[in-house]
Structure 1
Amino acid sequence: MAFDRSASRTYADLSRRNFLINGAVAGSGLVLSVSLPFGQGNAVGNDSFAPNAFIRIGPDGEIVLTMPYVEMGQGTYTSIPMLIAEELEVGLKQVRIEHAPPNEKLYGNPLLGVQATGNSNAIRGAWKPLREAGAAARIMLIATAAGRWGVDAGSCHAETGEVVHTPSGRRLKYGELAADAAHIAVPTNVVLKKPEEFKLIGTPAKRLDASGKVNGSVLYGIDARPPGVKIATLAQSPVFGGRLKSLDDSAARAVKGVRQIVRLEDAVAVVADHMGAAKKGLEALKIEWDEGAHSGLSTQDVARDLEQAILRPGSVAQSIGNADQAIANAATRVEASYQLPFLAHATMEPMNCTVHFRGSECEIWVGTQAIARVQAMAAKAAGLPVEKVIVHNHLIGGGFGRRLEADGAVRAVEIAKQVDGPVKVVWTREEDIQQDMYRPYWVDRIAAGLDKDGKPIAWRNRFAGSSVIARWLPPAFKDGLDPDTTEGAIDLVYALPNFHVEYVRAEPSGIRTAFWRSVGPSHNVFVSESFIDELAAAARQDAVTYRRMLLDHNPRAKAVLDLAAEKAGWGSVLPKGRGRGIALQHVFGSYLAQVAEVEVAKDGSVRVHRVVCAMDCGTVVNPDTVQAQIQSGVNFGVTAALYGEITLKNGRVEQTNFDTYQILRINEAPAIEVHVVKSAEPPGGMGEAGTSGIVPAIANAIFAATGKRLRKMPIDVNALKQPV
């Protein structure tokens, strides 16, 4: 698969219709522009929606998709072309991908309203519009061929990139028809294939980007090497908000290969011929920091502030019936408090950005999940109009939400402004972890009331923590709430007649928070699924049976619960020290049940041996991607359960590298089974669902094995040690 970053196009204005194909001649090809309507009716301008995907058919018959999403391992650059190829009747290898340039108007994500890749919604957003685009293009090409032959279009069909006159067998390739097809009237209604007619959708497709990753031909951000580039690495104030007080750089300047020392208000960068020299120069610097107001901050301070915040009423996220009254009159009352820590992203590709600042313009090479945001913030840092900042996007070696932020690009621009020629700024692993923007710390207080039979009649939860959306996308934070922070805490799959959830926004001082794989659900599903397990235990009922009795109204949830339990052998005898735990969720538009089988050793260490997942994610586009994403998400979540924690001491992040911020090792990875429930519903999200559900499944399995309930992550080994 090739990426063409040099192509330059002018796109026509599009109407307010939810779907539009605007025919225009581009050279001798057919240009198709696809409008993906914003959710919630977010219009740009008075009479138009911002389109975010474009298709071009050239005289060679190749289909070029300008991709508004970025590939970071999730398979988007294979699955989304499958949608076009399916309806257009072409082979998947005929579709070529171009990275979309920064343009919020043209490439805004239809479910987010901004140009970004995240929230497990690339396939969800593209599902119908891109299929409609392919179908409409097919109709236009067939009409063009029928006109040339002087036959009825109904006597023609498309197959493998050609239009065929069925009675005579005459054929014309798409490339031969493209220029004339640009003048055909756009069909106002198209009929999409029925699921039973799919040839590509639902079949395992080999990743189009795999060969390029193996042979090294595709470029990640860290691979960018414009002519004359220098390499820089940096040290930023170890306390957020601190400033550079003094610097002795004499030893650093003496390091062979070091070319320049760049001083900023709160950082120092060493510019060199290569990374080795830059790192040696950085180590030779003698830096004194003015640590500022947060120099004494600790994790305990953050937790205490949140525990105080949760005492005050929050914004009501969902309220059904009268939970307080029902709990007061319940036969049994159950209460619990939960805490979840800050977490780093720790992507394999550390933060990096290459910038050539030329005074009147700025050129940037980076891998980003939000290219338009990078352009806008880089322009501000450079003191230039947005149109004078050129951004080239690349594949990403791990995003998990970290590269929805533009801080790395802004920092690189600040450094590049003092460097003559292009400079690639690469963060060390230590800088990457200690200067991350972390998943928020959360505190929950939750209570429920049970009737005499142990059935829940009321549920009340109040939780406090940071809202990433309030900072990242302020218009989406309304009345003290946002959809990310509350997802997984409200609209639960269970029938609960009295239900009340409040959110208290509490931003921690001295530490930055950001999106992290599954973000809000990674917190809320842990709390909800741990607590429903507590209710089952209080009622002295089996965890699966208890959940099942609350799902009569929700057949999709019940189906995945039953399938996961069956495939995991729920109820069968396990050796001493082992236990099974289950978690059930409906987040990112998908239903997922996970059973974790764990072993707790005498020293308290935990081994996750097996994970069984049952998934109903609606229509499956690429089964291989579904399985891979679940496996990836599970391992990411197991890491969080066993090891994940960012702690603060004296205003500093204590973790520095993979020795202190440990990642699941390959020998620790569990056996993972993925079972997919066949569904004709529209696709749900896949990239994050596996992460949010596995942590409570592990915690519940530990309870089953030991009788000890864990309400705080990561797992406290000391709490699980058996007495000698």
Structure 2
Amino acid sequence: MTQVLSRRSFLASSAGLVIGMTLPLAARAQSGAAAAFQSGAIDEASFAPNAFVRVAPDDTVTVIIKHIEFGQGPFTGLATLVAEEMDADWGQMRAENAPANDELYKNLAFGMQGTGGSTAMANSYMQMRKAGAAARAMLVAAAAEEWGVPESEITISKGEISHGSGKSSGFGALAEKAAGMTPPEDPPVKSVDQFVLIGTDLPKLDTRAKSTGTAIFTMDVYREGMLTVVVAHPPKFGATVGSYDDSAVLDVPGVQAVRQIPQGVAVYATSTHAALKGREALKVEWDDSAAEKRSSAAIFEAFSKAASEGGKDAEVLGDGAAGIDGAAQVIEAEFRFPYLAHAPMEPLDGVIEVREDGAEVWMGSQFPALDKPTIVQTLGLSPESVQLNVMLAGGSFGRRAQDTAHFAGELAEVAKAAGAPGSFKLVWTREDDLHGGYYRPLTVHKMRAGLDADGKLTGWEDVVANQSIMAGGPMAQMMQDGMDPTSYEGSTKMPYELGNLRVGWAAQESPVSVLWWRSVGHTHTGYATEVFLDMVLEAQGKDPVQGRLDLIREDAARDRGVLEKVAEMAGWDGTKVKGDRAYGVAVHESFETYVAQIAEVSDAGGYPKVHRVWCAVDCGVAVNPNVIRAQMEGGIGFGLGSVLFDEITLGEGGVVQQANFDSYRMLRIHEMPEVMVEIIASDADPTGVGEPGVPPIGPAVANAWRALTGEAVTELPFLTTMEA
């Protein structure tokens, strides 16, 4: 399998130009390029610090992508930025995941290497353009020296370097000479009107490999003598191993060992089948004295009570909730959101090879900056002796963005417990993942609004009760005064002029492990605020679109822009029901991207059938319009399935009731609506698109459903698992 793995090497060529930006000279020895140079993988002419761009002798340009690719498009998006500034031809572009190197490949928004919060494009936009511009400048300098002409007379178009004398060259022929040029400190970049590739529909760089099966995921990695490992985890959150009996396990053909680790009991075998059969034969007595034993129903009641008590102030404007006191009409609603699993198509997996001199790891690491130190600490190794290779991953939706690095820690514990050097593949099944927690937090919103005798809005209150994702982990430093903004983001700083306003947060605790889920807090705040606002507008006798436009502040022009655009797209005329079809609207900003959607819904025997969705999005400069449209479509499908069908429920005693896609229902292909996406033209810096398409779809459908049936859906999902 060494040949397969060598294809993942990001510095495999023996000559060429490797270029990058922003690494201090003192850090050169830590760069991937430096390591390759020291090992003899490339020659001195190819060496450069902070390698983002590699030009090979065959004219190919490989961009080293610091953000993990799991379908959201950074391979294509970030390579586009480099290609634009190099004036490369799209056909010569390639992309590869960067290895773990926190200093070299940090997310500029986080200050550490990691992907999340729809920040990949936003934090890399100028960095990658500068890297491409630097490479172009060095190629031009090399051509000028080679041909004895002024640099100002050289042009580049579609990967061809030319001079008026008739001399021309591809990138590859000049790459080695270019590597000897001094990189410019701050190369100029193009203005928006000079863009050739940015803003065009370019085919994704990873589509062919993924379509043909040649793309290498963690599950495809095999090492000589490797053992497959599965772990028996506690059936209740917070439980631990009391004792276990492995006598029957060791009789299963292929099982090599059983070891207790902090996370449970690990079974080592020569195949996945043997490991799973061995785990089935394992008998474990669990100590659940500290476990969560409440059912989901009991947790909801506790959270509801906490929300009723008001929580701590997250945002207060004017007289806050006092604006509701004495109102002529008070509108109230309680919204309930269940735990949700991420359920990516590729469950968690990882390969670790421990050697006498260190360790090498292959996994779809979303936060290498946290995963690698966890492995280093667990194994008691030096950072320099551990290499973490970031692999392609089959989806995430937040599941691989673990601030506790729990999977990397479990992988390292498996290797440590083995007691000797070796190779181990840790695999979580779908059931492991759905039972294993790290869910979107169960959440309650208690909402009130007051109207005066003339129907004018006098006050708005939203109290959110849920668990903090950040508390107790490395991200806790981002909290302020004990407040976790990811718990209520989207319910604060709304674009509407609501007068007196109060948003409160009641922090709750449970052994159930929670994690960010695609669009994080916005996934529930977008639903609660937009559905409740629709209810208020209806009480005022106002049109859902015009009523929102009337409320949008003057400084919220981009919210207004997407709402006006989506109304135009759908031909909105104020009629909410036409025959057997109803129409609902929602608008929500998340991660600095503005999205408005209108859904067309009918009644399919007691639940919504969504026929069409119109979507307007403002994400700044549209680097790759086809990727943006795909992410909006994917976000709509993902969000629609979650509001219609999805829930993780704890039964009596706290045991999770869902196990696989038969009980955790996914949206089916015939249920996917027709989606029309319009991208607002903008010259603002680009913002993320991986998550913002999710929040508006739920409320848009719920608002259409209420218009059609009169039923306000305040507890999700629309259908329970049994009904679905």
Who is 1:686 aligned against? Answer: 689
Partner-residue secondary structure (3-state), 1:610: strand
Asked if 1:296 corresponds to 2:293, the answer is yes
Contact 2:308/2:446 (<8 A) preserved? no
Residue pairs, 1:111-126, within 5 angstroms: 111-126=109-124
C-alpha displacement of 1:400: 0.8
Q: 1:184 to 1:717 in 2, by over 3 A?
A: closer
Cα deviations by residue, 1:636-687 (Å, 9 ceiling, x for unpaired): 1111111111111212111111111111122222222212222222212111
Matching residue of 1:226: 223
| 2:506 maps to 1:490 | no
Matched position secondary structure for 1:440: coil
Structure 2 stretches lacking a partner, 5+ long: 26-30
The match for 2:674 among 658, 666, 671 is: 671
Greater Cα offset, 142-151 or 641-650: 142-151
Matching residue of 2:9: 4
The amino acid across from 1:672 in the alignment is: V
Please give the residue correspondences for 1:699-710 in structure 2 after superposition, counting only pairs within 5 Å: 699-710=702-713
TM-superposed deviation, 1:484:
2.9
Would the aligned equivalents of 2:263 and 2:410 in 1 still touch at CA under 8 Å?
no
Indicate which of 149, 152, 166 corresponds to 1:151. Answer: 149
Q: Is the 8 A contact 1:297 1:510 kept in 2?
A: no
Amino acid at match of 2:406: D
Choose 563-572 or 662-671, whichever is displaced more. 563-572
Gap change, CA 1:143 and 1:577, over 3 Å in 2: same
C-alpha displacement at 1:374, in angstroms? 1.3
What residue is the counterpart of 1:287 in the other structure? Answer: 284
Look up the match of 2:346. 349
Distance 1:182 1:319, change over 3 A: farther
> What is the alpha-carbon distance in structure 2 between the residues aligned to residue 533 and residue 390 of structure 1?
52
Deviation at residue 410 of structure 1 after TM alignment:
1.8
Please, which runs of 5 or more residues in structure 1 have no aligned partner? Answer: 17-21, 35-52
Matches within 5 A, 1:75-90: 75-90=73-88
Residue 312 of structure 1: CA displacement? 4.8
Measured in 1, the distance between the counterparts of 2:722 and 2:429 equals 35
Q: Contact 2:339–2:439 (CA<8 Å) still a contact in 1?
A: yes
1:337–1:219 Cα change, 3 Å: same
* Cα offset, 1:382, TM superposition: 2.0
User: Residues 304-352 of structure 1, C-alpha deviation per residue, up to 9 Å, x if partnerless?
Assistant: 3323433455444333322334333655432322221111111111111
Q: Which residue of 1 aligns with 2:95?
A: 97
Shift of 1:422: 1.2
The Cα offsets for residues 113-132 of structure 1, whole Å up to 9 and x where unpaired, read as 22111111111111122112
Distance 2:249 2:183 in 1: 64
Amino acid at match of 1:252: V
Conserved 8 A contact 1:462-1:503: yes
* 1:448 matched to 2:445: no
Map of 2:206 onto structure 1: 209
Match of 2:28 in 1: none
Q: Identify the residue that residue 106 of structure 1 maps to in structure 2.
A: 104
1:532 match: 533
Q: CA deviation at 1:191?
A: 3.6
Q: CA RMSD in A?
A: 3.0
Structure 1 residues 10 and 200, CA gap change in structure 2 (3 angstroms): closer
User: What residue is the counterpart of 1:595 in the other structure?
Assistant: 598
The answer to whether the Cα contact below 8 Å between 1:401 and 1:516 also exists between their aligned partners in 2 is yes
TM-superposed deviation, 1:58: 4.5
Task: Summarize deviations over 1:228-275 as a string: whole Å, max 9, x none.
Answer: 112222211111222223333333322222222223355222222222
**Deviates most, 592-601 or 692-701:** 592-601
SS in structure 2 at match of 1:519: coil
For residue 43 of structure 2, the aligned residue among 27, 42, 47 is 27
Identity of aligned residues (%): 37
TM-score (norm 1): 0.89
Distance 1:168 1:582 in 2: 60
Q: Structure 1 residues 648, 623: closer, same or farther in 2, change over 3 A?
A: same
> Aligned pairs, how many?
695
1:473 aligned counterpart, secondary structure: helix
Give the match for residue 437 of structure 1: 438
Q: Is the 8 A contact 2:645 2:717 kept in 1?
A: yes
CA 1:536 to 1:244, structure 2 compared with 1: closer, same or farther past 3 Å? same
Q: What is the identity, as a one-letter code, of the residue corresponding to 2:636?
A: V
Q: Partner amino acid for 1:634?
A: I
Return closer, same or farther for 1:536/1:32 CA change in 2, 3 Å cut-off. farther
Deviates more, 1:22-31 or 1:212-221: 22-31
Contact 2:341 2:437 in 1 (8 A): yes
SS in 2 for 1:584: strand
The whole-number CA distance in structure 1 between the counterparts of 2:263 and 2:295 is: 21
* Residue 70 of structure 1 pairs with residue 71 of structure 2: no
In structure 1, the partner of 2:657 is 654
1:407 is matched with which residue?
Answer: 406
Give the Cα–Cα distance (whole angstroms) in 1 for the partners of residues 304 and 383 of structure 2: 43
CA–CA distance in structure 2, aligned partners of residues 606 and 452 of structure 1: 35
CA deviation string 1:256-301 (max 9, x = no partner): 2222222335522222222222222222223322222225222133
Correspondence for 1:363 among 360, 364, 369: 360
SS at match of 2:136: helix
Residue identity in the other structure for 2:301: R
- Counterparts of 2:593 and 2:464, CA distance in 1: 24
Between the aligned partners of 1:314 and 1:181, the Cα distance in structure 2 is 61
The answer to whether the 8 Å contact 1:315/1:480 transfers is: no
Provide the C-alpha distance between the structure 2 equivalents of 1:590 and 1:243, rounded to a whole number of angstroms. Answer: 43
1:696 is aligned to 699
> Which of 236, 240, 243 pairs up with 1:239?
236
CA distance in 2, matches of 1:267, 1:392: 26
TM-score between both structures, scaled by the size of structure 2: 0.89
Q: 1:258 to 1:311 in 2, by over 3 A?
A: same
